[in-house]
Amino acid sequence: MSYIEAKEKYALLGVDTDKAIEILKTVPISLHCWQGDDVIGFDNDGGLTGGIQTTGNYIGRARTPDELMSDMDKVISLTPGKLKLNLHASYAIFDGDFADRNKLEPKHFTKWVQFAKERNMGIDFNPTFFSHSMVKDNLTLSSPDETVRQFWVEHGKCCLKIAEYFANETGIPCVMNIWIPDGYKDVPADRFGPRERFKKSLDEILSISYDKSKVFVCLESKVFGIGMESYTVGSAEFCMNYVANKGITPLMDNGHYHPTEMVSDKISSMLLFNNKIALHITRGVRWDSDHVVILDDETKEIAKEIVRADALDRVFIATDYFDASINRISAWVTGIRSVQKALLYAMLEPSKAMKEMQNSNDLHRLWSCTRSLKQCPSVMYGKNI
């Protein structure tokens, strides 16, 4: 079917396809740098820790900043629409002038700023609380060892300054996401203490002044990690309460919930109580939270919830997955394009008519319309709905 034919069919449903494409072009997707090198970064000798894992040994892992940047350029060339760059602190570029995570400065990211500016991209940022010798007994910001806890508080503070530097340099707000891997493999004797220390650490990080219109600090929750199956300090309840209390931004990663819990169902509730929300779009498969995104039902449903709530400008959308078993560039591109396709698919829904069906309790009609839209525009449900 040609685009003209499809456009005419959608017009019968009251959907303007040209407009949908124009809007899609303006929605930034934050491109996670860590798919290119299996989440290793440039500040350590390899060895990913923190309850996350890449499996596979496909050739071509980016080993240097230049390799990662040129792989990203390939991704950009294969991806339409607007992108933002999403960096982890472990991707600092030192050029012989090494600084540990508690001593990071904006100058360690000048090359990334140049890269982003040349491509008209904003930059999002993540402190890296894993793959480091100061992660003690699987704990960072919640550690009972004051030296360890302080080290990571300093790291958080350094990152906040770097995030503000990114926003100032690019002129685009920076989303800075905090995720810690802290947890226990087996049932702990004290669930309260680590969470109390995590709360104190976050308060300390956020005590430095920063421009809240330029830096959006997010907190990402998680249900479990590998080796932290029984308890994670940054649970959903902890993060949701902390965020609400402090007026920062919640981040939901759809790989971080029980498999029967759907992030698509959470979005409306979160939007009602937060100005902005952030998402890590991924694909959970059994124990793994980070398979490459595909155009599956949940990805489409997440996109529909954003579009139906008219919240494209209130949701920070980022990808977050890592697969080392297939060509990394193709993994990257497939995931990002799948998010974009899901958004386009959502924008092609005759949402107003469907909400009316729901509100008039015409649920069978709604049900058949939903089924038939799956094959639209090839197969249409009647002339119009």
* Catalytic residue ranges: 179, 220, 222, 253, 256, 280, 288, 290, 320
Per CB under 5 A, does 290 bind Zn ion? no
List contacts with ligand RNT (CB under 6 A): 34, 39, 52, 126, 179, 220, 222, 253, 280, 289, 320
152: partner contacted, choices ligand RNT, Zn ion, none (Cβ within 5-8 A by kind):
none
> How many other CB atoms are there within 10 angstroms of residue 172's CB atom?
18
Look at residue 90 and give the partner it binds from Zn ion, ligand RNT, none, a contact being a CB closer than 5 to 8 Å depending on partner kind. Answer: none
Only segment of 8-16, 91-99, 184-192, 273-281 that touches Zn ion (CB under 5 A): 273-281
- Identity of the residue, 89 or 357, whose beta carbon is nearer to Zn ion in the bound complex: 89
Residue type, 365: R
Residue 232 CB contacts under 8 Å (≥ 6 apart), including other chains:
181, 182, 183, 221, 222, 223, 224, 225
Query: Residue 317's closest CA among 289, 291, 278?
Result: 278
Indicate which of Zn ion, ligand RNT, none lies near residue 84 (CB less than 5 to 8 Å, by partner kind): none
In the complex with ligand RNT, the residue whose CB is nearer, 183 or 350, is 183
Whole-angstrom distance, CA of residue 277 vs CA of residue 216: 10
Q: Strand 288-291 vs strand 283-285: parallel, antiparallel, or unpaired?
A: antiparallel
Nearer to ligand RNT, 298 or 320 (CB): 320
CA dihedral 227, 233, 235, 240 (to 10 degrees): -160
CA distance 274 to 272: 6
Q: How far is the CB of 251 from ligand RNT (least distance, A)?
A: 8
**Smaller CB distance to Zn ion: residue 181 or 194?**
181
Q: CB of 246: closest distance to Zn ion in angstroms?
A: 20
Site for Zn ion in 220-259 (CB under 5 A): 253
Instruction: Give the nearest distance from C-beta 52 to Zn ion in angstroms.
Output: 9
The one of ligand RNT, Zn ion, none whose footprint includes residue 222, by CB under 5 to 8 A per kind, is: ligand RNT
User: Does 164 participate in binding Zn ion (rule CB under 5 A)?
Assistant: no
**Residue 280 binds to Zn ion (criterion: CB under 5 A):** yes
Of ligand RNT, Zn ion, none, which one does residue 289 interact with (CB within 5 to 8 Å by kind)?
ligand RNT
Q: Which of 320, 336, 345, 373 binds Zn ion (CB under 5 A)?
A: 320
* Residue 54: closest CA among 33, 40, 72: 40
Strand partners, 280: 253, 318
Would you say 27 or 252 has its CB closer to ligand RNT?
Answer: 252
Q: How many CB atoms lie within 10 A of CB 144?
A: 13
DSSP letter string over 241-303? HHHHHHT-EEEEETTSS-TT--HHHHHHHHHHH-S-EEEEE-EEETTEEEEPP-S-HHHHHHH
CB 314 within 8 A of CB 28: no
In eight-state DSSP terms, residue 49 is -
* Nearest distance, CB of residue 57 and Zn ion, angstroms: 23
Stretch that binds Zn ion, among 118-126, 242-250, 316-324, 362-370 (CB under 5 A): 316-324
Q: Give one DSSP letter per residue of 108-151, joined into a string.
A: GGHHHHHHHHHTT--EEEE---SSSTT-BTTBSTT-SSHHHHHH
Select from Zn ion, ligand RNT, none the partner in contact with residue 34, using the beta carbon and a kind-dependent cut-off of 5 to 8 Å.
Answer: ligand RNT
Residues of the shown chain interacting with Zn ion in the complex, contacts defined by CB under 5 A: 253, 280, 320
